[in-house]
A and B are shown apart, each in its own frame.
Chain A
Amino acid sequence: MRQSNCSNNPGRLPQDHESPVHLIGLTQPHGVLIGLEASTFNIAHISDNAISHLGISAQTLIGQNLFELIESSTPIQHLQHSLETCSNYPSYHPISISTPSETKQFDGLLHRIDNSILLELEPTHKQTAVELTSLQNQIQRSLSRLRSLDDITDFLQTATTEIQAITGFERVMVYRFDEHCAGSVIAEVKPPEKVSYLGLHYPATDIPTTVRQLYHQGLTRFIPDLRAPSVELVTAEQSFAQTPVDLRYAILRGVDPCCVEYHQNMGVTALLVIALVQGNRLWGLISCHHPTSKFLPYPVRSACVILGQLVAAEVAGKVDRKELNYLSSLQAIQANFIDSIAKATDFKQALIEPAPRLLEVVSAQGAAICLDQDITLIGETPCLEDIQALISWSLEKPSSEIFHTNCLVQVYPSAVNIQAVASGLIVLTISKVRRYLILWFRPEVLQTINWAGNPHESVREGQAILGPRTSFENWKETVRATALPWKSAELANALALKNAIVGIVLSKADELAQINLELERSNRELDSFAYAASHDLKEPLRGITNFSNLILRRYSESLDESAVKRLQTLVKLAERMDRLIDALLRFSRLGQAELQQQPTDLNTLLSKVLETLHAGQNEDTSTIQIHIPRQLPAVKADSILLSEVFSNLLSNALKYTDQPQPSIEVGYLEPNDPKIADGIEPNTCVIYVQDDGIGIHKRHFQNIFRLFKRLHERDSYGGGTGVGLTIAKKIIERHGGHIWVESTYGMGTTFYFVLNCEEK
């Protein structure tokens, strides 16, 4: 591939000082190059090998008119016309020149550059009519064979075979350029014993910019013998002395020494390169190598050019078809995906399963689905920690729904650790606020290249030698940390996925709103139900109580003692049932009532609760004494409900004791208190109510919070309904806290609960 530019030589010139190949001032020796003054057709330049081809020295020819040289058998008028009308692109013209010894036939190629006309003369290779006809037939066959092939690999492979047959060169390769102008060998034909270059990559710098431009214009490069010494150009002293001749379009342009070295290291002596130009783009090259010098006559070269043009034109169709197939498969995946997401009740699940689908939709190797704190990984991805960092980084960036790169380290230097799997990245932001993102990853290209056939042992100790091996090293530098670029259809798929998800989320939100409405209604219904039920239960209960009492009042004289006692029990049971119904009603309403949270001073609240408890106590019982070791904090709570919690806990402490004078303590712990085992959130505190009562067995620590659950006989310890702690628990939970108990049986009990502190 290398045409010039010793990029691997130590001390080589930087890229921008690249030697201008078109001003090399040297020609190849297999022909004569003549520079003509455009107006006069006088010879201004001529290659120094004129003597060997024309039998006249260059010095003699300088200044002469071209037509003095031309043999009369040449169609002069035609030549004159060609000279006047020629363009940049060399046009063929057979020319006869009479040398001192004989009249020689030349293949003339004419083109205009600036104010010069360059005429290049190659000795005409004597070809028989049979040879020419067979070449024509060969081309015909090649063309029709190539046209019949649909598969791009077969097509290119056949093209190399055909060109090998036509040229007789031992190795023919097709290179394809990527968007960074780096090339890779995608088809090759070679002798079996030679090392294959198939799949090898070359950096863009392997071809100097000028040469690339020339290829872009469809030029062909032919070097029959790289070892042949270059020929100097002789220039007329007066006219164009100041300006070196621009040889960019010259077939005979001399070969850069780097190019020679590069190819000789690969064992190449003869070289033919045909540009494959597709539309306005240099798609690739066909490169032909031969180990010994090999001259191809003009008709053969021009046959190869025709084949090259066919390849370039046809490959476009084939590549497009392949691309189209891919695009339509992408679309099919997307349609199927969106369809299943729309039907799914859980869109996260639909994203994840089946796993390959989320990757296929953009042709990625790995993906991460981030739904707030929940991150799911699929395929080959960086580790969770790296992904979290990456997500934080991408969320900091200015808002855009999709971000993509095929070289993450360029924008996110920390990616250097994850470039193997995540050089390519798409970040699809579904919701920044809710941290809903999908990330797709593509590995570094280097990781995906199969470099099994390391072709050359061309790196020798201490001395870098130009060759594909070192070129690969070079290429590695240019593609390091780079992934295959994301295609616009893939990005479009990602965006379509976002729209689908947003649509689904929105419709789910609608559904949720609907469900909320229904919940609200059923909550209201439940509320009414609780009242209605309690009403309906109480009515017969009242009948029982009232009639029993009436009997007791009016007919007790006619009843015996046990009948009276049983009637009294009946009344007592009915009254108990009344209390149970009230508790149930209270409990059912707790879940629905709205909390009126406000800053609440626990000291004030507690003293009010104590007052109420005092009021409810019988005169004869001792006064309630509660120890408060330090000022209680202010909390954020619904004071009425919180009063109920204290009231329930304190009345339990007063009830479940055998002490004549129970000792009760109410205090609080800070979040960092070592007594709190699990730790709690900052800005919360733990309130405790401690007694020296009868205590609770550890096995009942959970039971005590259950509705209507009592640990003692129905009438012992004041005969509660078994709902006080259930209500306390519910109230604390409604406040976002939790309640638990610690107790040593027979020693006392401590209830703890967490509340949000009012900020100081």
Chain B
Amino acid sequence: MLQDNKTPLLVVEDSDEDFEVLQIFMEDMAVTNPIYRCTTGDKALEFLYREQDEGTKENQRPSMILLDLNLPGTDGREILARLKQDDQFREIPIVIFTTNSDPKDIKFCYRKGANGYLIKPVRTERFEKAIQAFVDYWLNTNTLPEWVEFTGNK
């Protein structure tokens, strides 16, 4: 797979600091996938559904979503449930990335179809490790769904 064709990653994250550090580490890890960021749940939904309606900027459609749970407005759990219920988005892997370690929430997310659950550690080296693991697996190793039916030019 060519680097240019790397599928975009949507990060739904309200914390500027967390996002900045995430970006820095991903840069360090030579991640070249386009990264979109939404700071609230509502903006994330808006972004996704607008993309679908217009149907033109197909390369902006994310193939992978990194989702914080505690978000202003519509929160991460709702976004997850909604996307996983929607035929148009169901196949997009969603990895939860949150400080929340409540077992009930972890269970809830998997039930709703989350593809992974990463807890954001406070310690930098652990935080970096978590991002490294994500990048290694989801971006570099795993094969993400492609969107031939929309792009029409596989």
Residues of A near any B CB (own CB < 8 A): 527-528, 531-532, 534-536, 538-543, 545-550, 571, 574-575, 578, 585
Contacts and interface: CB of A to CB of B under 8 A. Distances in A.
Contact of B124 (A528, A536, A545): A545
A526 to B, nearest CB: 12
A546 B127 contact: yes
A531 B101 contact: yes
B100 A549 contact: no
30 contacts: A527-B102, A528-B102, A531-B100, A531-B101, A531-B105, A535-B70, A535-B98, A536-B70, A538-B120, A539-B18, A540-B17, A542-B17, A542-B99, A542-B121, A542-B122, A543-B15, A543-B18, A543-B21, A545-B124, A545-B127, A546-B17, A546-B124, A547-B21, A548-B124, A549-B125, A574-B122, A575-B122, A578-B122, A578-B123, A585-B101
A531 B69 CA distance: 12
Contacts of B98: 535
Contacts of A527: 102, 104
Nearest to B124: A549
A180 B78 CA distance: 84
Residue among B18, B70, B104, B124 with the most chain A CB within 10 A?
A: B124
A703 to B, nearest CB: 29
B29 interface: no
B124 A541 contact: no
Contacts of A545: 122-124, 127
B133 interface: no
A165 B134 CA distance: 122
Nearest to A552: B124
A549 B24 CA distance: 12
A337 B18 CA distance: 68
A536 B122 CA distance: 12
Residue among A541, A548, A549 with the most chain B CB within 10 A?
A: A549
A542 B125 CA distance: 11
A528 B120 CA distance: 18
B100 A535 contact: yes
Interface residues of B, number: 20
A489 B49 CA distance: 80
Contacts of B18: 539, 542-543, 546
Contact of B120 (A536, A542, A549): A542
Contacts of B120: 538, 542
A691 B99 CA distance: 38
B12 to A, nearest CB: 15
Nearest to A540: B17
A528 B105 CA distance: 10
Contacts of B125: 549
A535 B21 CA distance: 18
Contacts of B104: 527
Given A527-B104, A542-B17, 5 more contacts: A532-B70, A534-B101, A535-B70, A535-B100, A542-B18
B68 to A, nearest CB: 10
A275 to B, nearest CB: 88
Interface string B99-124: 11110110000000000000011111
A674 to B, nearest CB: 45
Nearest to B127: A546
Contacts of A571: 124
Interface of B: 15, 17-18, 21, 24, 70, 98-102, 104-105, 120-125, 127
A529 to B, nearest CB: 11
A531 B106 CA distance: 12
A539 B102 CA distance: 15
A535 B70 CA distance: 9
Nearest to B105: A531
For the residues of A in contact with B, the DSSP-based class is helix
A574 B15 CA distance: 18
Residue among A535, A574, A575 with the most chain B CB within 10 A?
A: A535
B14 to A, nearest CB: 9
Nearest to B28: A553
Contact of B21 (A531, A541, A550): A550
Contacts of A542: 17-18, 99, 120-122, 127
A540 to B, nearest CB: 8
A565 to B, nearest CB: 17
Contacts of A585: 101
A68 B125 CA distance: 146
Contacts of B127: 542, 545-546
A531 B100 CA distance: 7
A541 to B, nearest CB: 5
B70 to A, nearest CB: 6
B66 to A, nearest CB: 16
Contacts of A575: 122-123
Residue among A527, A536, A539 with the most chain B CB within 10 A?
A: A539
A528 B123 CA distance: 23
B122 A541 contact: yes
Contacts of B100: 531, 535
A585 B103 CA distance: 12
B21 A546 contact: yes
A192 B121 CA distance: 108
B16 to A, nearest CB: 9
A617 to B, nearest CB: 20
Contacts of B70: 532, 535-536
B15 A539 contact: yes
B55 to A, nearest CB: 37
Sorted nearest first, the 7 A-B pairs with minimum C-beta distance are A543-B17, A549-B124, A578-B122, A531-B102, A546-B21, A535-B99, A538-B99
B5 to A, nearest CB: 31
A550 B24 contact: yes
A531 B104 CA distance: 10
Contacts of A546: 17-18, 21, 124, 127
A540 B99 CA distance: 11
Contacts of B15: 539, 543
A581 to B, nearest CB: 8
Contacts of A540: 17
Given A535-B70, A542-B122, A578-B122, A547 B99 contact: no
A550 B21 CA distance: 8
A241 B144 CA distance: 135
B113 to A, nearest CB: 22
Contacts of A547: 17, 21
A348 to B, nearest CB: 41
Nearest to B122: A578
Contacts of B101: 531, 534, 585
Nearest to A593: B103
A538 B21 CA distance: 15
B49 to A, nearest CB: 28
Residue among A536, A538, A571 with the most chain B CB within 10 A?
A: A538
A540 B120 CA distance: 12
A550 B124 CA distance: 9
A547 B16 CA distance: 12
A536 B127 CA distance: 17
Contacts of B123: 545, 575, 578
Nearest to A538: B99
A571 B125 CA distance: 11
Contacts of B21: 543, 546-547, 550
Contacts of B17: 539-540, 542-543, 546-547
B124 to A, nearest CB: 4
B104 to A, nearest CB: 8
A548 B21 CA distance: 11
A549 B100 CA distance: 23
Nearest to A578: B122
A528 B103 CA distance: 10
A229 to B, nearest CB: 110
Nearest to B24: A550
